Amino acid sequence: MPRGLLIVVSGPSGVGKNTVISNLFSYSPNLKYSISATTRSPRQGEIDGLNYFFLSDSEFTKRIAAGDFLEWAKVYQHYYGTPRSYVEEMLTGGFDLVLDIDVQGAALIKKALPEAILVFLAPPSLNELKLRLMGRKTEMESEIMLRLQNIDKELHAVPEYDYFIVNREINLTCRQIEGIIQSERMKVSRQAPDFLDKIFQDE
Amino acid sequence: MPRGLLIVVSGPSGVGKNTVISNLFSYSPNLKYSISATTRSPRQGEIDGLNYFFLSDSEFTKRIAAGDFLEWAKVYQHYYGTPRSYVEEMLTGGFDLVLDIDVQGAALIKKALPEAILVFLAPPSLNELKLRLMGRKTEMESEIMLRLQNIDKELHAVPEYDYFIVNREINLTCRQIEGIIQSERMKVSRQAPDFLDKIFQDE
């Protein structure tokens, strides 16, 4: 069973990341969503072990101490983290994992697991992004301004990423990410050390 | 105009490399064949500047001295080489180039032009390769044995390659190489330094 790939997807708010990721599963049948752990309470309809692993504060901090997070962060009183054991179990099982995380989290993931593939999604233009954010109508203008200011910080992180995709059209972007997964699978550096033996064992 | 990619394809004799490469052009409309220079005489039907650049011995050695070959070799009295100026012109013009070369040549290309993408084509098994070579009926058994002995040397070079593809079916292999080209194009490391400015210039 070849080891699965960890695909980390980041991009500015409004770029269409959630839509791309939720569509990606129909392009990549081997792909699973990387489930994060959190100490915040489950919202209506959220299921433990499906949307999140819901942990108590003491359990979370215990796991931090045990080194069981590839990355973690505390945001407004609540912990969020990527469980190392879960990711490892999935990759060993041959599943690819997609992880939706911000640029700080992505950098920590790459440091903890250099095999991770970092994909940055960008909007076709900054104007387009503004239009998309304003089109949501769920956010106040001050919030939109805050998100736009955040973009500058995010762009400075792009050189740390492996791939850069301009999200012009959801299906094209999904096919491009699926293409990256397929190509990464063919990398010599990702083959098991004995892969040549398997091909040439019949002599 | 984004810079083109140089795809170097190697693989043992009988792996189906020529068939794959000649089919690849219908998958990759932007792809051109990298034309080599040689001092051997043109064979029936071969055209200068299409199949090869046919050079005199003195012209070839002058170009070696001028550093105009990414790699060159002398095989049975004749020189063969990859002209740097031609490759550079094509890549700058935005064309992708496919170069069919042995493992020694590929290593020299990668050294001269680290941006080159090295793809190794392998047969599904050694038995399959023997059957293919014997199926040709154009070669004597001693020649086949020589080619098979060469495989060991070639396999030792695989770790120097970027991608490893088992050539099970021509169309699948072509799609895989085309997928590699598309993915490599999305690499952050291959983007022009000002690519972010272009996207975010509208503010």
pLDDT digits (tens, 9 = 90+) for A49-63: 999 999 999 999 999
Cross-strand bridge partners of residue A72: A81
Superfamily of domain B6-34+94-199: P-loop containing nucleotide triphosphate hydrolases (3.40.50.300)
Give how far the C-alpha of residue A139 lies from the chain's centroid of Cα atoms, to the nearest Å. 24
Q: Which is higher by pLDDT, A125 or A66?
A: A66
Burial A83-105 (b: 16+ CB within 10 A, else e): bbebbeebbeeebbbbbbbbbeb
Mutation test of the interface with chain B: which of A129, A183, A184, A203, choosing the one with the most B Cβ atoms within 10 A? Answer: A183
Pick the CATH number of A6-34+95-199 from 3.40.50.200, 3.30.750.80, 3.40.50.300, 3.20.20.70: 3.40.50.300
Other CB atoms within 10 A of residue A198 CB: 12
**Could you read off the pLDDT of A20-60 as tens digits, one per residue?**
999 999 998 899 999 999 999 999 999 999 999 999 999 99
Residues of A within 8 A of B182 (CB-CB) are: 176, 179, 183
Strand partners, B52: B36, B48
Report the distance separating Cα B10 and Cα B120, nearest Å. 5
The Cα A12–Cα B142 span in angstroms is 62
| In contact, B180 and B163? CB cutoff 8 Å | yes
- The predicted pLDDT at position A40 comes to 96
pTM: 0.90
Tell me the torsion sign for CA atoms A33, A37, A41, A47: positive
Q: Which residues in chain A are contacts of B144 at CB distance < 8 A?
A: none
Partner A contacted by B180 (CB < 8 A): yes
* pLDDT value at A138 more than 80: no
Residue A203 has pLDDT above 60, yes or no: no
Side by side, which strands form the sheet with B6-10?
Answer: B31-33, B96-100, B6-10, B117-122, B163-166
| Mean pLDDT in residue range A149-167 | 90
Which segments of chain A does DSSP mark as H helices, in order? 17-27, 57-65, 84-92, 103-112, 126-136, 141-156, 170-185, 195-199
Residue with tokens 């038995």: B127
Query: What is the residue extent of each domain of chain B?
Result: 6-34+94-199
Number of residues assigned to chain A: 203
Which one-letter DSSP state was computed for residue B44?
A: T
pLDDT grade for B202, boundaries at 50, 70 and 90: low
Output the six-digit token pair for B78: 């004749």
pLDDT, average across residues B124-148: 79
- Establish if A173 touches chain B: CB-CB under 8 angstroms: no
Selection from B110, B165, B195 nearest residue A120 by Cα: B195
Mutate to test the interface with A, among B147, B148, B164 (most CBs of A within 10 A): B164
Which residue in B183, B197, B195, B164 sits closest to B5, CA to CA?
A: B183
Relative orientation angle of helices A126-136 and A141-156, to the nearest 10 degrees? 140
User: How many CB contacts within 8 angstroms connect chain A with chain B?
Assistant: 88
pLDDT category at B51 given cuts 50, 70, 90 is very high
Distance CA A16, CA A24 (A): 12
Question: Cα separations (Å) of B137 from A203, B132, B144?
Answer: 22, 9, 10
Q: What is the pLDDT of residue A81?
A: 97
- Which one of B155, B182, B187 has the shortest CB-CB distance to A200? B155
What per-residue confidence (pLDDT) applies to A132?
79
Banded pLDDT at B201 (limits 50, 70, 90): low
CB distance from A191 to chain B under 8 Å?
A: yes
Report how far residue A40's alpha carbon sits from residue A57's, in angstroms, rounded to the nearest whole number.
9
In percent, the amount of chain A with pLDDT more than 70 equals 96
Instruction: Please judge whether A203 and B126 are an interchain contact, meaning their C-beta atoms are less than 8 angstroms apart.
Output: yes
Residue B160: strand, helix, or coil: helix
> Which residue in chain A is spatially nearest to B172 when comparing CA positions?
A182
